[in-house]
Structure 1
Amino acid sequence: MVGAQSVADIEGERAAAMRPPCGHFPLSPGVWTVNAWYCGVCGSSVPSPGLRSGDFTPPCHRFSCPLCGAALHVRSGQPVVSPLTHRNPDLNPVAPFPRTCTQVCRQGLRARFHASRPNLAGGWAHTFAAQDPGVLLPYTWGVPPSAWHITVLGQAQLTGLGDIVLELDRKTAGLLAYLVIEGSAPRSRLAGYLWPESREETARNNLAQLLRKLRLSVGEELVPGSSNGLLRLADTLRADAQDAREAYLLGQYETFLAHDPLLLAGRDYDDCPEFEDWLVTERERWMDWRRAALRELSTQAERRGDLDEALRWAAQGLTADPVSEGAFVRVMTLQYLCGQRLEALQTFGRCQTMLKSEFGVQPLRQTSELARTIAQSTAVLRQADSCSPLPLTVLRPPRLIGRADQWRQLQQAHAAGQVLFLTGAPGSGKSRLALDFASSTGTTMHLQARPGDQDVPYATLTRYARQLTQATSRDRMPDWARQQLAGLLPELTTGTIGPQERRSEARLCLFRAFLELMRAAAPDFGAFVMDDLQFADQASQEVLLYVLANRPQGDFPALLAVAREGELAASARERLDALIETGLAVSCAVASLPDEAVQELLGSLEVPEVQHLAPDLARYTRGNPLFILETLKHVIETDGYLNASLGYFTLPRRVGVLIEQRLKRLPPTALQVAQAAAVLQRDFDLDVVSEVLNQPIFTLIPVWAELERAQIFDRDRFTHDIVYESVRSTLPGGVWQALHRSAARTLERHGAAPERIARHFLEGARPAEAVPFLRHAAQHAEQRYLLREAAQTYGQLADLLDQLQDQPAAFDALNAQAETLINLQDVDGVGAVVVRLQQSAVTLAQQVAARVRHCFLLFLQGDHTALLQASEEGLALAHEARDLRAEASFLEGIAYTDIIRGGGARAREAFTRMLEVGQTCADMELQAKSHEGLGMVIPNDLAQVLEHYRQAARLHEQNGNVSSFAAASGKRAWLHYQLGDVNGALHVFEHAYKRLVDVREGHGSVKLINAWGRSSCLQVLGRYAAALDASAEALATSSGRDAGSAGWRRVLELQRGRVLLEIGCSQEALAAIQPAIDAPEYIQNIRSRGLISLGQALTAVGQRSEAQQAFAQAEALLNAEKEPYYWAQLHLARAQLLSPEAQLAVFGGLLDLAQRKAHAHLSLAVQIRRAQALMALDLPVAEHDLKGDAAAHGVLSFGEVLLTRYQVACANASPDAATSLRSLTDWVIHTAQEHVPAGYCATFWASNPAARMVLEAQPALQHITVTRG
């Protein structure tokens, strides 16, 4: 195919030495005859008329491919060679180039050399596809490429190999820019341009010196001279302006716009007037090209039906030409077509301001009429060059009809700072109402869930997060939030945090990070609209509900959530109902339009031919706006209104049929593309659809544009889910299955989520191929702590394996599902799976496994008698099966039953044997459980108990069992707490909390217990705001679905009351404590602690008899020897109801107990209360009895200890009184300013005894109550 030399000539010794690994032949320097070209569109060989390199006419030679008609361009001005097919004969001569090689050799619009050594005289011949598939750019041959590239658009510089950058001085930059643009110039002209004040000889000498310095700087001749006195750039040197100009002339406008628009930016040549005149003219030429490119891109996008893209280019065009009234009109029109009415009117206002300030005139009459049309939304606008026969008003009605009541409701809720929740039937206009209302508040961010999201955890959230990050600066987000979201959006990963260093998606951290992302985007938007929530996956729904529940107050955009009525998951609906009940959200029902509104809607469309159809339409569509519009489209497209006017036009029984009929009017290829997209459901694009259909992508480009014009597609989604459902219904069963199979294989190549691939194989009637993907999906969900999704997927896998009659694998899947549900503490779910396990168990090993899960079920149900019996029977089976791990599970059941029944000896034996089994099997989890159990049953050796708990936590953590680690840590922390080491307890609780945030769902009880422990410690340390936050945060993120969570939620509600009581809010505290302790689900084994708190609250509000009853109930549940801490706490509180004399008798007994148990912190608490009783009787108090670490005792509040010490010092006229007052004052002020919530500051100062004393002792501090209150 090459004329001047044969292949044999090329295959010489030099060629063999230069052969690159890709297998392409090197071509020797010289001028070549081009006999054929390779079409980058259809792949055919295109003969050419024996053209030589000198035959091409500037700026390019153009001819067409005879097969597909693609326009082919050949760049001229340099030697060329055919890129047809020169391949290594060792390779298949007709095979296409290796994909990797093609990718390597494709660099923008310009062919680059691909050589193994940089000093080769020749290059490598390659076939490559440019950004425009119809452009073939030949290579430059004959001389090696220059190591330098000139940049004159923007900051002028030279770029060399290894990213070496040379900044150019002003005159060197001007010289090179002139040669880049003009091609060549006489020396005398350039010298005169750049040194106009110098004599000609001096100017020419200056020019020679400049060229010499340039040559020495770069090491090669970039501007060679010629015999005729002309200067030009070296043939092999390229410049950005040349690339940009070629892109513009070839119609590659996006590539052209990627270049800086300003020639020699930042350079001033006012001392070179002739050169400056040339530069100003060129700059204006480049700006004209830029404005023309933006106009053309906007027009092309509008013709494709992509109005958002058209608006984006038009807005850039307005920026490039800010004094063009036509540019303003273009933007206004597109904003209106996109439904951005408010923005369009704002654009008109800016246009008026510009015209008045710049020219002193008013807008043209046509512009003002357009603005009035938009304001009134009555005129019919039509898209330029649109292929649609439908009036624009039918495609998008100009104004809302029949929604005045809902609009007022939304306005009131928005003014009150509430979340707006819109519900209604499909097609009722929920999204239109939400978006129009959102637009009235400012710029809107429209976030949409899509059909198919339910299959992939975090699918919806990932799409939301990507939209928000693209719309806001990443600098607004804190690093920790970016790091958390990088698990969903890899593009957020920084160079210092590799994927292996990122933690798994942490539930609470992810919640907070997404809220932080919305906070970062908030300044740019007036509203966030979360649309079609019924399609969102469960994991995303939980994050979004957290955002709705924790909407930042103040100047934050409106939050609107939209969902189909009755189609939200029950758990999500419950959470939303709770938000509505608490006043954080308001529900707005979007109903069908009444008959009069249907008549008004038709009138607003200004299509006279259909006005008389209003009664029939209202009856036929039942007032559903989408159905009304679909019916009108059918009527107009089929000229049906002509028949209707004669009285014999009929409609199908279902409105969905209208959409189906509209689809049937599409060309067959367009319908196939829509059907393939319906199979993919979500996030489809042209590349993926073309692979599913096995069609060349270029043949589908016009089809895609036609589907967007027909309002079937809106970029990468269907325009409405009803349209998707209609497309789905057009698919015959066999075609549906075939497309699903193709989709599965396509998505597998693209690395899609395994659950999505599995669903396509299942829909494609290939269940066996879905099995590995379902198993992978379940395991992946477990690794990400998505336990609910993991359990559902294991269940689906078990059902599928049952159908495939693979009993062992089905049993294993059921067993894995049971384990996941046990971790979720889902009693009902575990019960159902256990029944299936027992029914399907065949082998002895399977029977043992089923019995193990049955024992876990009985434990969750609290049936201790049945648990003991089942465990003993299972132990015998485990011995028969020689299954050590099963033996340990049954021993665990026996041990816990013994503990619950008040025993201990049998439990110690069981846990000791479990530890032996764990060590034999090298099972860290089993060893950890054994240590945890032994810590519960060893009496009177607190050091040994703490060591067992520490070992249990360590082993759980090493094994990656976060929930069990937190549970063991909690036991250890509470022991520290009861021993008076509150700081140590808080440290253990917080370490466990940091690990628990990795668990997105399940283990709710453990999380609530951890929050209870942290809140209790923070309360004792006087950090009241943090204590309340810990409780509120846990309650907000707890689903309450797992066993025990409801009871622990009550415990946290009571804990909130305890904190309020210590602040001084007695009535509010009692209102929180009383219903919590009275609830039947309250955790019974800590009921005594709740009753003590109830008694304290009743005492604080003066209900002494009720308090006495609460204390009596608590006493009946406690044992002084086994629980000395709570026994002392009870009697210290109860003594407040006694006379001082009676109190002293009680305190004597408590001191004896504290000393016997060696609990110094209890002794300090008793001495504090004893001192108060002695002072009430005017008896002396020894100050040394009150010494001790007041911050860590964990019985009385820190403020009470400091207050009592100050009072005793005053009573004794001690010189330490001033020091005690200073300590008390510092604590009170610091606590009020740092640790009391702002809303409770006034109450703290007025009701807390320590705070009141500080104000009485130091009246000068009265201003603090005003500042904080």
Structure 2
Amino acid sequence: MTTIQCFFLGTPQFTKDDHALKLTKAKGIALLVYLAVERTTQTREQVMTLLWPDSLPQAARKNLRNTLWDIGKTFDEDVVEVDGDSLRLAESVWVDIHPFEDTSPAADSSQVSRLEEVVPLYRAPLADGLSLLDAPDFELWLTTQQQRLDRHYLRLLDALITVHRAAANWQKVINYAQQALIYDNLQEPMHQALMEAHARLGERAQAVRQYDNLRAILAQELGVVPLPETESLRTAILNGHIQASPMSITAAAPRPVKKAASASSPFVGRRTERAVMDEALQLAATGQARIVLLTGELGIGKTRLWQQWSATLPETLTTLETRCLDNTQSLPFAPLTRLFSQATCTQRLSQASTAISATWLAELSRLLPEIKELRPDLPEPADLPPEEERGRLLEAFIQVLRALNGHTTVLFIDDLHWADQATLDWLVYLIDRLRNESLLVVATYRVADAPAQLVHTVATWKREGQVHHLPLERLTLIEATELITALGGDVALIEQLYTKSAGNPYFLIELNRAGSEDTPSALADLIQTRLDRLSGATQQVVQAAAILESDIDFETLRRTSGRGEEETLNALDELLEATVLIEGQGVYEFSHPLVGAVVRDGLSTARRQFLHRRAAEALETAFSSNLPAVAGRIAAHYTAANLPGLAAQYAKMAGDHAMGLVAFTEAVTFYRQAYDLDPTPTRQMDLAEALFLLPGALDEARVTLQQALNSFEANGDRPNIVKACLMMAFSYLPSGEGDKIIEWVERALPHLEYITDPAAEARAHFFLGAGGFRIGRSMKEAEEHLAEGLRLAVEHQLSEAAMNGWFELGNLNLQRGDFAKAREAFQQSLVLAQTGQNIYQEAICHNNLAYTALLAGDLDQAHTHIENGLAFADKHALMLPRQYLYSTRGEIALAEENLDKADQWFRQAIIEAEKFDNPIHAANIRANLALVARRRGDLDEALTLLTQAQKVVARVSNPHLQTQIDLWLAELHLQRGEQAVAKQALARAEARLAGANRRGLQAWAKQVRASI
């Protein structure tokens, strides 16, 4: 039987029946490494995205086929099993990674032979020397896997050292400790093991030299000195007092961290504030959503007040807590991720998941992948327009919150001044959406640090009378005396302590803790004095904690500090005992933010950069299966570590993640960061794409994209020239500026001739068609472009492009007045939407089919389609299409002379249109409301509404709607007896219709002319 072996732990090597094989192409090696490490079946799409990210789909598929053929030719056997769209490494292939990583690093004497068998498999880091500069995501994946396997190798060596040390096999201790230091020379326990082993073998000079090496390495790399234990070991060796029996070493399994004594301080004062909070809760319980804002300076006791008050709440209430952090304020929905990731919340979510619609859970899984573990049956989130996606994600949080609550929900958000924009937007949505429900939001923030958006939001809440604002004052002397007495402090020092603290509770507690001898006058100096009392190893661990800052788990802290498990556990014991850190639900945080700030401020530049690099690497390891969720944090660490290349890659990943969460403010922040770190035109185009989606940033988006385009043109980068030009053309589509659309497409056309990109070519034709008929150009020419785009879409199986093409063709025929062709086109688009499960397009197709039937005079069909559309939107919780569905429903009611119903539907439609900032459609709806007013005989109201609509559409190029409004105005002025003004309105309409192929509008204009 043929034996194929793949050796990836080091420079990749391949053998078949012990004969060496040579696979020369890097992508082929990369594919085999990826399949070997992942072990599970991978889709072609996953592999193509990883290895050929910049290639067009057709080119990527061809590259993958060629790579698989090259692998098969090299091995003369099916090393990679292909099953339809799936790829996996054949089970018959032996891979060195598998026995290596399947071996447990337990320090067990019965496993020595197994350990000594697999350790030599590790020749060097995974796929050493392999590099794919054109596949950055693969590079990140490979780096993460290399680090993971490096650590496993070190754990295996540590287990061998532990066993041989216990058995006094000192030469083997030396051998394995030296191997460990080759990969990480900062492991002080390994240096200690070498020192002891040399001393046990009578090599005292070598033992001392090992100490000198360690001291030099620590000084150069970390700027620290060896630990006291190492110094003691050196002294014992020099004095000849080394113990006769081997030193014990703790096994790798971590022991539990000793719990610190309660850090809770006595609570004094704040009676008025607690009474106001009680009152707010009572109002919330009656179905009036309330907000309590606790503000004040650092250390004033905002969080402490919440803790004291919430401890008295009855268990029947649902109390949820989260906080915002300085280092996550650019991560979208960071506090909500923190909230819903908590064990208690996840448990509640698991219990309530069956009561929550799969639609909302699927949306939430964008942010919380662990939801898929609770509900693996969930569908993928729907592919929707950005505005719809954003609304659904905001609503998803609301729905889950409702499913978790009892009678009244109390939500606490600490340090709201550090909230990201997406979270603030959700909070505004929450308060508005649940204004008549039993909800109390309590938030703390520092007014001096509040961003403009938070200031404006609070001002709005205050105007609406929903806020109870409680600025916390400093303690009075009487309250300070009560606090110091409760702490068991010296009563004689109360006035001195009060003067120094100025009544700040946290400062007062720290002063009391420090005692009376040589007490610093500044709070930061006071904290530094307490930190200086910590042992050397503990100071290094707390420095790592200060760099990590948030959600500090044991493994990430250990990796960042560079200390072993035992050392890190001992340090945590000391930090908890000293109340520098506090523990909760498996993570650690500083007892007060100021403590972490003092630690960071005390670090040298070199030490800070080093720790930031280690923090980034630790997070890469901890979140290797979900890097996008922490990419923003990793980018920040690599930036602080002065590694701009890696920082830019992660900033780009964070921007992509934010775009997936429709958090455009955060996406812009990350894409801008990536561009600043690595200023390439591609990164600039990423930034422009996000800016286009950010309200109010249209001009900046176009300037940014123009700059990127200039660079692409200078570099002769035709594919990106085309992409940028079409992106610019698309930016003019919502405003109907057809001349600009056509101008930008025509700029792309010469470059399209030199590249093979049918999707871009189809898009160009669609834009030319859509732009043309929007500005009144020849309908025939526009139709030809749309037809050519459709031909390309069908030929190249571009189903989404075909769906959009048919829809645009339907709109063209609708404006032309050819209702039969319009109906056929919309029906084709509907079928493709249903096939592709595009729920937004399906709802819009129902709307346009209803509108077509209405114009054709088939009210029964109009009712059928509009009811189908409304029911479909309700079923799938779609929000964006409602503005169109409601207005069409209103027009049907108007055609039936049901004026009250028409008025009701139109007013609902305006609310939806304004919610999604769609002034053109809102103007169209107002024009229809004018028709309702006219039918009721209120001609003044009709004129006001039509004039408002006319002013809005005059700002854009939309000849069809402008002509409709002018014809309505002409009819209205005739009814009012205003002949001259009616003629002016009709003349404007006729001028637009001259030479146009818009049969319906032209027939209408003739009727009005006949009336005049």
Aligning the two structures, in what range does the TM-score lie when normalised by the shorter sequence? Answer: 0.5 to 0.7
The yes-or-no answer on 1:601 pairing with 2:484 is no
- Assess if the C-alpha contact under 8 Å between 1:787 and 1:824 holds in 2: yes
Question: 777, 788, 797: which is aligned to 1:913?
Answer: 788
> 1:869 & 1:599 partners in 2: Cα distance?
74
Question: 565, 588, 595: which is aligned to 2:469?
Answer: 588
Give the C-alpha shift of residue 1034 in structure 1: 4.3
2:611 is matched with 739
Unaligned segments of structure 2, at least 5 residues = 1-105, 123-155, 163-255
2:627 is matched with 753
Q: For each residue in 1:96-126, what CA deviation from the matched residue of structure 2 results, as whole angstroms up to 9, or x when unmatched?
A: 999xxxxxxxxxxxxxxxxxxxxxxxxxxxx
- Assess if the C-alpha contact under 8 Å between 2:289 and 2:431 holds in 1: no
Question: 492, 511, 515: which is aligned to 1:639?
Answer: 515
Give the C-alpha shift of residue 800 in structure 1: 3.2
Matches within 5 A, 1:159-178: none
Question: 612, 618, 624: which is aligned to 2:495?
Answer: 612
- Distance change (3 Å), C-alpha of 1:1036 and 1:1087: closer
TM-score after normalising by structure 1: 0.48
**Which SS does the other structure have where 2:467 is aligned?**
strand
Matches within 5 A, 1:145-544: 304-305=260-261, 337=264, 392-393=265-266, 397-400=267-270, 417-422=288-293, 424-427=295-298, 428-434=300-306, 442=314, 444-467=319-342, 469=345, 472=348, 479-481=355-357, 484-485=360-361, 487=365, 497-498=376-377, 507-523=390-406, 527-544=410-427
- Distance change (3 Å), C-alpha of 1:657 and 1:865: farther
The yes-or-no answer on 1:561 pairing with 2:561 is no
> 1:1083 & 1:993 partners in 2: Cα distance?
31
Give the C-alpha shift of residue 617 in structure 1: 4.2
**Which SS does the other structure have where 2:589 is aligned?**
coil
Question: 962, 973, 986: which is aligned to 2:866?
Answer: 986
**Which SS does the other structure have where 1:534 is aligned?**
helix
**Which SS does the other structure have where 1:717 is aligned?**
strand
Give the C-alpha shift of residue 995 in structure 1: 9.9
Give the C-alpha shift of residue 675 in structure 1: 2.5
2:548 is matched with 680
**Which SS does the other structure have where 2:590 is aligned?**
coil
Unaligned segments of structure 1, at least 5 residues = 1-81, 99-126, 134-296, 308-336, 338-391, 644-648, 803-809, 1132-1144, 1151-1269
The amino acid of 1:419's aligned partner reads: R
> 2:478 & 2:947 partners in 1: Cα distance?
53
Q: For each residue in 1:465-509, what CA deviation from the matched residue of structure 2 results, as whole angstroms up to 9, or x when unmatched?
A: 345635858656653347734625566558874356666896545
> 2:929 & 2:546 partners in 1: Cα distance?
51
- Distance change (3 Å), C-alpha of 1:670 and 1:481: farther
Give the C-alpha shift of residue 905 in structure 1: 3.1
Give the C-alpha shift of residue 590 in structure 1: 1.9
Give the C-alpha shift of residue 439 in structure 1: 5.8
- Distance change (3 Å), C-alpha of 1:565 and 1:749: same
- Distance change (3 Å), C-alpha of 1:86 and 1:783: same
> 1:908 & 1:930 partners in 2: Cα distance?
10
The yes-or-no answer on 1:812 pairing with 2:682 is yes
1:245 is matched with none
Question: 522, 527, 550: which is aligned to 2:433?
Answer: 550
Q: For each residue in 1:335-380, what CA deviation from the matched residue of structure 2 results, as whole angstroms up to 9, or x when unmatched?
A: xx5xxxxxxxxxxxxxxxxxxxxxxxxxxxxxxxxxxxxxxxxxxx
> 2:945 & 2:555 partners in 1: Cα distance?
60
Give the C-alpha shift of residue 1024 in structure 1: 9.5
TM-score after normalising by structure 2: 0.59
2:598 is matched with 726
The yes-or-no answer on 1:843 pairing with 2:716 is yes
**Which SS does the other structure have where 1:304 is aligned?**
coil
> 1:541 & 1:885 partners in 2: Cα distance?
38
- Distance change (3 Å), C-alpha of 1:549 and 1:748: same
1:92 is matched with 116
1:927 is matched with 802
The amino acid of 1:305's aligned partner reads: A
Matches within 5 A, 1:1066-1105: 1077=949, 1080=952, 1086=961
Q: Let me know the Cα RMSD of the aligned residues.
A: 5.6
Which structure would you say has the larger Rg? 1
1:282 is matched with none
The amino acid of 1:676's aligned partner reads: A
> 1:1010 & 1:892 partners in 2: Cα distance?
25
- Assess if the C-alpha contact under 8 Å between 2:500 and 2:521 holds in 1: no
**Which SS does the other structure have where 2:827 is aligned?**
helix
Give the C-alpha shift of residue 993 in structure 1: 4.0
Question: 557, 570, 574: which is aligned to 1:689?
Answer: 557
Aligned residues: 725
- Distance change (3 Å), C-alpha of 1:864 and 1:473: closer
The yes-or-no answer on 1:797 pairing with 2:667 is no
**Which SS does the other structure have where 1:86 is aligned?**
helix
Instruction: Name the stretch that deviates more: 513-522 or 827-836.
Output: 513-522
- Assess if the C-alpha contact under 8 Å between 1:738 and 1:764 holds in 2: yes
**Which SS does the other structure have where 1:745 is aligned?**
helix
> 1:972 & 1:86 partners in 2: Cα distance?
75
The yes-or-no answer on 1:901 pairing with 2:778 is no
Give the C-alpha shift of residue 461 in structure 1: 1.6
Instruction: Name the stretch that deviates more: 987-996 or 687-696.
Output: 987-996
> 1:714 & 1:433 partners in 2: Cα distance?
18
> 1:440 & 1:305 partners in 2: Cα distance?
22
- Distance change (3 Å), C-alpha of 1:522 and 1:878: closer
The amino acid of 1:843's aligned partner reads: G
> 1:911 & 1:503 partners in 2: Cα distance?
27
- Assess if the C-alpha contact under 8 Å between 1:482 and 1:492 holds in 2: no
Give the C-alpha shift of residue 1050 in structure 1: 6.8
Give the C-alpha shift of residue 843 in structure 1: 0.6
- Distance change (3 Å), C-alpha of 1:827 and 1:491: closer
- Distance change (3 Å), C-alpha of 1:753 and 1:630: same
> 2:931 & 2:312 partners in 1: Cα distance?
45
> 1:525 & 1:469 partners in 2: Cα distance?
16
Q: For each residue in 1:1126-1147, what CA deviation from the matched residue of structure 2 results, as whole angstroms up to 9, or x when unmatched?
A: 999x99xxxxxxxxxxxxx99x
Matches within 5 A, 1:1225-1236: none
- Assess if the C-alpha contact under 8 Å between 2:382 and 2:839 holds in 1: no
- Distance change (3 Å), C-alpha of 1:416 and 1:86: closer
Q: For each residue in 1:1017-1052, what CA deviation from the matched residue of structure 2 results, as whole angstroms up to 9, or x when unmatched?
A: 7998998999599659847974x4xxxx35556777
- Distance change (3 Å), C-alpha of 1:1023 and 1:919: same
**Which SS does the other structure have where 1:714 is aligned?**
strand
Q: For each residue in 1:175-231, what CA deviation from the matched residue of structure 2 results, as whole angstroms up to 9, or x when unmatched?
A: xxxxxxxxxxxxxxxxxxxxxxxxxxxxxxxxxxxxxxxxxxxxxxxxxxxxxxxxx
- Distance change (3 Å), C-alpha of 1:1083 and 1:436: farther
Q: For each residue in 1:872-927, what CA deviation from the matched residue of structure 2 results, as whole angstroms up to 9, or x when unmatched?
A: 44434544668765555554554344323323233223323333444455444443
2:851 is matched with 974
Q: For each residue in 1:757-809, what CA deviation from the matched residue of structure 2 results, as whole angstroms up to 9, or x when unmatched?
A: 3433333333333455444444444455555544544443343332xxxxxxx
The amino acid of 2:425's aligned partner reads: E
